[in-house]
Amino acid sequence: MRVTPQGRVLVLDVPEWPGNLAGQHLDLRLTAEDGYQAVRSYSIASFGDGHSVELAVDELPDGEVSPYLVRDVEPGDMLEVRGPLGNFFVWRDSQTEPVQLIAGGSGIVPLVSIARAHRAAASPAKFRMLYSVRAPEDAYYASELEELVDDSFALDWVYTRTAPAGFARTAGRITRADIEASTLPVADNPLVYVCGPTGFVEAVARILVDLGHPAERIKTERFGGS
């Protein structure tokens, strides 16, 4: 199902999947007819038990794998996956501290998984999410995220190219002022998860450290770009 102009949500049925923690990823391998192979890492939007694994994939203009996943792959096709992987960029429902989630573009995927796990556990931990997208139509899971908003989950948006009519903030890249105004303060000592393209993550992490967040309280995951 295509959910944004460049993106698609895929649900894989992986019979031997052992379940996964919120925030983990998997490696997906494609093999061409001539034997050429390409492997990419994708964050998982789903969490917990079961062998249904949800991914959201953004098509990269010069990508080898993502155009196939977004345009060509059909229900019933076989894919090769390895995972779940990584215990660093994860959230467990035993965690009680405040959490700030910051996503750029399709970097929302592992953070959706974490937000879903937070809701499913009815966790009282204070959560706040800041989601930066080019335009409203580029947002993944927008309506689901809006529905998660309650006393323990706040959601803030940054639009970099086109903001919806009536939105107070002018479209533009995320700034120090955005982060200061729309994320949990240093005084709350939040654990901060940042995921997005490399340039986005670097910029956000620099601002967070500059605002006084200890580097060891910032977890990052970068993809693509340089």
Partner 1 sequence: MPEHARQANVPVSRVDGNAAAGPLGEILRLDITTAVGTCRHCGTAAALSEAVVERDAEGVIVLCRSCGHTLVTYISRDGRQYLEFAGLLSLNTATS
Residue 165 buriedness (CB in 10 A; 0-12 / 13-18 / 19+): exposed
Instruction: Supply the minimum distance, in Å, between the C-beta of residue 26 and partner 1.
Output: 8
Torsion angle of C-alpha atoms 119, 201, 136, 11, degrees rounded to 10? -50
Contacts of 55 (CB under 8 A, 6+ apart): 9, 10, 11, 12, 26, 28, 42, 43, 44, 45, 69, 109
Tell me which stretch binds partner 1 (CB under 8 A): 7-15, 87-95, 97-105, 117-125.
87-95
Find the binding residues for partner 1 in span 38-77 (CB under 8 A). 38-41, 62, 64
Measured between alpha carbons, how far is 110 from 72 in angstroms, rounded to an integer?
Answer: 24
The tokens of 1 are what?
Answer: 């199902």
Q: How far is the CB of 210 from partner 1 (least distance, A)?
A: 17
The candidate with the shortest Cα–Cα distance to 80, out of 120, 39, 111, 129, is 39
Residue 85 touches partner 1, criterion: CB under 8 A: yes
Distance CA 48, CA 151 (A): 24
Among 3, 9, 27, 68, binds partner 1 (CB under 8 A): 27
Q: Which is nearer to partner 1, 60 or 135 (CB)?
A: 60
* Helix, strand, or coil (residue 12): strand
Cβ-based nearer residue to partner 1, 89 or 159: 89
Is 191:101 a contact under the CB 8 Å cutoff? no
Residue nearer to partner 1 on the CB measure, 81 or 155: 81
Of the residues 22, 44, 46, 83, which one makes contact with partner 1 according to CB under 8 A? 83
Quick note: the x/- pattern for partner 1 over 159-198, rule CB under 8 A, is ---------------------------------------x
Which residue in 2, 51, 71, 82 binds partner 1 (CB under 8 A)?
82
Interface segment toward partner 1; rule CB under 8 A; list 1-9, 19-27, 175-183, 185-193 = 19-27
CB 38 within 8 A of CB 29: yes
84: cis peptide before it, omega within 30°? yes
How many residues bind partner 1 (CB under 8 A)? The answer is 28
91 near partner 1, rule: CB under 8 A = no
Name the residue nearer to partner 1 (CB basis): 49 or 216: 216
Report the residue number, 7 or 23, with the smaller CB distance to partner 1. Answer: 23
Residue type, 147: E
Binding residues for partner 1, per CB under 8 A? Answer: 25-27, 36-41, 62, 64, 82-83, 85-89, 198, 216, 219-226
